[in-house]
């Protein structure tokens, strides 16, 4: 590969991942509209359905979101009465996020979202699983690289 082709946009892994992510997120929009959620709210609820009663810090790490992005998102979910935010009794600096009954019940309505999305994409499940595994492996390696301050 010549030096100029290394700088072509279509040859960039980061662009392929970015563009694909944006397009998949667009496919989620009509499905999530039925739940009254944005994509970021949806992934937050996914994380909370897996592990309820977690700190904001833990949730941010799980979702790869900083507190500046996460705080307004959590305020909106609280306004929708899907979660509560309370100071940790053991550590007043920490805020604990918990699902409300309404938040727990929303999981039932969300159960068919992944299947509907996979049907739209039309890619075999095992191919999607392999791609997700590869991307997760790359992400884990990237996280080990020291960040510049």
pLDDT in tens, 79-132: 999 999 999 888 888 999 999 999 999 999 999 999 999 899 889 989 999 999
- Do you know the residue count of the chain? 149
How large a percentage of the chain has pLDDT more than 90?
A: 85
Torsion 96-99-100-103 (CA) sign: positive
Tell me: pLDDT of 2 over 80.
no
List domains and CATH numbers for the chain.
10-115 (1.10.10.10)
CA distance 134 to 149: 28
Section 4-10 average pLDDT = 90
């Amino acid at each position: 590969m010549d030096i100029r082709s290394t700088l072509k946009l279509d040859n960039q892994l980061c662009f392929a991942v970015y563009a694909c992510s944006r397009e998949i997120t667009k496919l989620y929009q009509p499905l999530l509209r039925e739940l009254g959620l944005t994509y970021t709210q949806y992934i937050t609820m996914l994380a909370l359905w897996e592990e309820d009663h977690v700190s904001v810090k833990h949730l941010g790490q799980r979702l790869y979101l900083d507190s500046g992005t996460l705080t307004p998102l959590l305020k909106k979910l609280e306004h929708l009465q899907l979660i509560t935010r309370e100071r940790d009794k053991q550590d007043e600096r920490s805020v604990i996020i918990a699902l409300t009954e309404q938040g727990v019940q929303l999981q039932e309505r969300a159960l068919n979202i992944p299947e509907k999305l996979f049907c739209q994409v039309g890619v075999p499940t095992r191919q999607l699983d392999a791609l997700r595994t590869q991307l997760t492996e790359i992400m884990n390696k990237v996280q080990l690289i020291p960040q510049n301050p």
